[in-house]
Amino acid sequence: MFAGEIKQLWRYPVKGLRGESLRSAAVDADGMAGDRVLGVFEPGTGKAVWGGSHPKMMGWEAAWPAQCGCADAVSGSPVLYEPGGAAWSADEAGLPARLAETIDAGKGAEIRRTAGAGDRMLVIFEASVRRLGEELGREIAAARFRPNVIVEADLEPYAETALAPGTPIRLGEHEFTLLMPCERCVLPSWDPSGSNERDMELHKHVIKELGNHFGVYVGIGESARVAVGDPVAG
């Protein structure tokens, strides 16, 4: 048993790009509204252009423009911001060429709809982030793991990945189900700012010491809303 609260919420409108911080978010059986609904692909193919092969992608940000004062709204098209700060609508004609140029995508880039986040949200625990930093002897940015929910709770570091699938986890007023631990790819080893620098020691440590798991996926079968400051219990 554990208890805590939601400290941060994050959404990534374009898979592989940096995302946006939220105060609250709508969630349903498809995951967090507006999360990873667009992706970057090689033109005319189904092959994804992703941060593991093009880490400069993380120099770009994506966010949904505020609608009617609702920071978590997802109507219209998201806005993409290139490293220099210039803003592009996701459907703007010149965006694909500019994106490809800045991320070194030699075959070009095409922004298309995806299947979304795959009916799940990624939750990480601050205690585990702190312990990882202690083990490596330096601060580790939670952003490396691209979480949707960052939780502070009275759970031992890394204990969340040992919880059984199907375990109920309450976020705010709604009961979510733990689906599985998150098996990590190479992406957390790349600097989340898009600087094109890689931390191989971090990657090796997660594989060797943590069984290549960090964070857990949760899902829910109904409509819900979560917010920063909501209580967490499991």
The residue-averaged pLDDT of 51-69 equals: 85
Query: According to the model, what pLDDT value does residue 75 have?
Result: 75
Residue 24 lies in a domain: no
Query: According to the model, what pLDDT value does residue 178 have?
Result: 98
Three-state secondary structure call for residue 100: helix
Last residue of a domain, one of 113, 133, 153: 113
The residue-averaged pLDDT of 107-125 equals: 91
| Residue 222's CATH number | 2.40.33.20
Question: With 90 as the cut, is the pLDDT of residue 223 above it?
Answer: yes
**pLDDT tens-digit profile of 172-206?**
999 999 999 999 999 999 999 999 999 999 999 99
Q: Are residues 206 and 122 in the same domain?
A: yes
Q: Are residues 109 and 146 in the same domain?
A: no
Strand order across the beta sheet in which 87-89 lies = 61-63, 79-81, 87-89
pTM (2 d.p.): 0.94
Query: According to the model, what pLDDT value does residue 116 have?
Result: 73
Q: What are phi and psi of 107, to 5 degrees?
A: -90, 5
Least confident piece of the model among 48-52, 71-75, 156-160, 202-206: 71-75
Q: Are residues 136 and 177 in the same domain?
A: yes
Nearest to 173 by CA among 135, 220, 214: 220
Strand 79-81 to strand 61-63: parallel, antiparallel, or no bridges (unpaired)? antiparallel
Share of the chain above pLDDT 70, in %: 97
Q: Which range marks the domain in which residue 62 is found? A: 35-113
Least confident piece of the model among 78-82, 111-115, 222-226: 111-115
Question: With 80 as the cut, is the pLDDT of residue 67 above it?
Answer: no
